[in-house]
Chains A and B, each alone.
Chain A
């Protein structure tokens, strides 16, 4: 069982470059999330999609956009990367909102 798959695993960007992080789940979950994890700050919610066709801002949405492409896929886009966006990004999904989240293995992003 694949669970939650996110790509790429590692990425290095220069300031101002753009990129999209991809996420797909195969558990028929309704809700999907993007978090970032920084040392000493825990997991912070960037954007979430409670169900297919909806997206909402989380705690730290500035500088990011998302697309819920279908029930399986939820992508995160950085339009103009900044060094402050250096972090580890996790995609997660759950059957019901905020209950029993399943996480991907993360994307380590460095912005130089």
Chain B
């Protein structure tokens, strides 16, 4: 069974702080997607990484896919209250997409 573990589960920080969220597995994935979900809404795709070692930046968010394509990280610089939400990683395998359990981030003004 392929599992994606995310850490930390919960994170509460002040506006302006930096943070990193991790997504780890013992399995190799062909791609890794990151979604953000706000309360009462469905997840929204932020980015897809497909190459081992790949780094993608989306404004203050930096996504990295591990060299072995088993893990990924999301780094947020100078977090803002608008970054509050549930962050989900999802690993693409041959015929399935496996979602992690999520990291719930709250950024206080």
Chain A residues in the interface with B (C-beta under 8 A): 4, 35, 40-45, 90, 92, 97-106
Contact = CB atoms under 8 A, between A and B. Distances in A.
Interface string B31-67: 1010100001111110010000000000000000000
Among A42, A92, A102, A105, the one with the most B-chain Cβ atoms within 10 Å of its Cβ is A42
Nearest to B102: A42
Contacts, number: 48
Interface size class of chain B, counting residues whose CB lies under 8 Å from the partner chain:
20 to 34
Interface string B1-21: 000000001000000000000
B85 interface: no
Contacts of B40: 105-106
A40 B88 CA distance: 12
A42 B99 contact: yes
B74 to A, nearest CB: 16
Contacts of A97: 95
Contacts of A101: 33, 35, 43, 45, 97
Contact of A42 (B92, B96, B100): B100
Contacts of B35: 101
23 contacts: A4-B42, A40-B101, A41-B101, A42-B88, A42-B99, A43-B43, A43-B88, A44-B99, A90-B42, A90-B43, A97-B95, A98-B95, A99-B31, A99-B92, A100-B33, A100-B48, A101-B33, A101-B35, A101-B97, A103-B44, A105-B42, A106-B40, A106-B41
